[in-house]
Amino acid sequence: MSSYVLAIRNHPESGPGRYPAWLRAAGLEVEVRPGEDGLPGDLKGINGLIMLGGGLMPDDDAAAPWLAEERTLVARALDEHVPILGICLGGQLLAHVGGGRVRSDHGVIERGATRIRLTPAAAEDGLLGRLPASFYAIENHRDAITELPPGSVHLAYSEDCPNQAFRLGDVAWGLQFHPEASSANVARWDPAKVRADGFDHDELIRLAQSVEPESERACRQIAEAFATVVHQHAAT
């Protein structure tokens, strides 16, 4: 029987991208569930949890009432040592639940392909340990994790954002960048909104396309490493 992973979609425009195909190729059963459809009250039968992005704050329950359920599910996954992968909003939500701090409209806006640099601690990490010291990944955020949760391990940063990846406990990871996204996502962005944030849309597309092979290798390695962790914990 394959291991089952629940991926929570927090916004229609922040889907799972290429990750379901990569995770299924690595032997996982993946369900992508919109948060507004309701979330399970427990982790019975769930071997891994993925929280996707969404342009919200982790406690923005007025705009997204299911976030309260999502935070509860994340807390239970931490308690029960169920592997977690939080991406963008999902990473911020993990930081929030773990006791860190997330601020809206904070720091430098990051859009498009961005060089991610690993900290020395990442060399021994179960998710990022096999990656090169730096690689490109897609970014699209204006909110930021300003304080990591107590006891967490800082794993990656970029030039403009100090907290790009962290691990909380043994099997829970938060990422600010989007390993599920590609240059195709960048090409679909609204050019007017991109300009309003101070970026040249055509240049963002060109850069993302030029680094796609490097980025895809690294981002697929993250997916495969997460699948390995899920399988290992499902077998125990």
The residues annotated as belonging to the active site are 88, 178, 180
Query: What 3-state class would DSSP assign to 66?
Result: coil
230's CB contacts (< 8 A; 6+ apart) are 3, 5, 28, 47, 48, 83
Number of Cβ within a 10 Å radius of residue 217:
12
CB neighbour burial string for 172-188, b if at least 16 within 10 angstroms, e if fewer:
bbbbbbbbbbbbebbee
Helix (H, G, I), strand (E, B) or coil at 148: coil
